[in-house]
Amino acid sequence: MLLVIDIGNTNTVFALHDGADWLSQWRSSTDPTRTADDYAAWLRTLMAMDGREISEIDACIVSSVVPQAKFNFRNLSRRYFKTEAIFVGDPDVKIGVPIRIRRPEQVGADRLVAAIGAHKMYPGALLVIDSGTATTFDIIGPDGGFEGGIISPGINLSVRALHDAAAQLPRIAIQRPEKVIGQDTVSAMQSGVFWGYTELIDGLVRRVKTEYGAPISVIATGGVASLFEGASETIDHFEHNLMEVGLLEVYRRNMKE
């Protein structure tokens, strides 16, 4: 059984695949100080709730944008799964994505994995929007090649910055307000954040489409992507398991070698 792990700056996603189907998925706050034993105890409990045992895991692949977390996850795989984890980005791991930008080494593992997942699921040129700590917009060519992108602050980061930098602005929950024009501080902030980000997404998508000059499908993924379902006018598909699909494909490509 394969365990795929996507370590983001804010959250870490764990998903089990048995070679044919996805079985379970869990999400945890990313904590680089959390030990292999902590993760094993946590996983053992959650797997038991699904009638499974941690000893069933015999393969592991990891994508991480948090370098400090790699040590504990490598130990987790060695100690409890009895196997060496595959880390996307390591020199011996083949990704198979043509990277057509000036500095290929600067592309994060998460963006390449999302590109692979999107190309696996949809034909043609793609624009992948990943909403997390940062919001990224990545162009994937018809052959699956990475052709560049855009990085902007994530919506949660902006909410935190408003609260931290302005003494009289409270911390708010991110949600779609009933009206655009707020009638109090909280509703005004919610409108600015929600509709501001919706317009950021739609505005950038329109500019990308104009510059790209060819048909391109827009895929949204990430922890907060679902916020924009029914609000964005430019997103064609919402795929909340895009990273898991990409990690599974990277694993299969490396097992063929």
From residue 16, alpha-carbon distances to 2, 3, 21, 160 in Å are: 6, 5, 9, 33
Q: Which of 58, 11, 43, 45 is nearest to 30 (CA)?
A: 11
Q: State the catalytic residue, choosing from 38, 58, 90, 110.
A: 110
Residue with the two structure tokens 């902007």: 152
Q: Which residues pair with 221 in a beta bridge?
A: 130
Cα separation, 118 vs 111, whole angstroms? 11
Phi, psi of 127 (to 5 degrees): -115, 115
Cα separation, 65 vs 69, whole angstroms? 9
Question: Is 110 designated active site?
Answer: yes
Look at the alpha carbons of 247, 145, 141, 221 in this order and tell me if their dihedral is positive or negative: positive
Give the CB-side neighbour count of residue 11, counting CA atoms within 13 A.
15
| Residues annotated catalytic, as ranges | 110
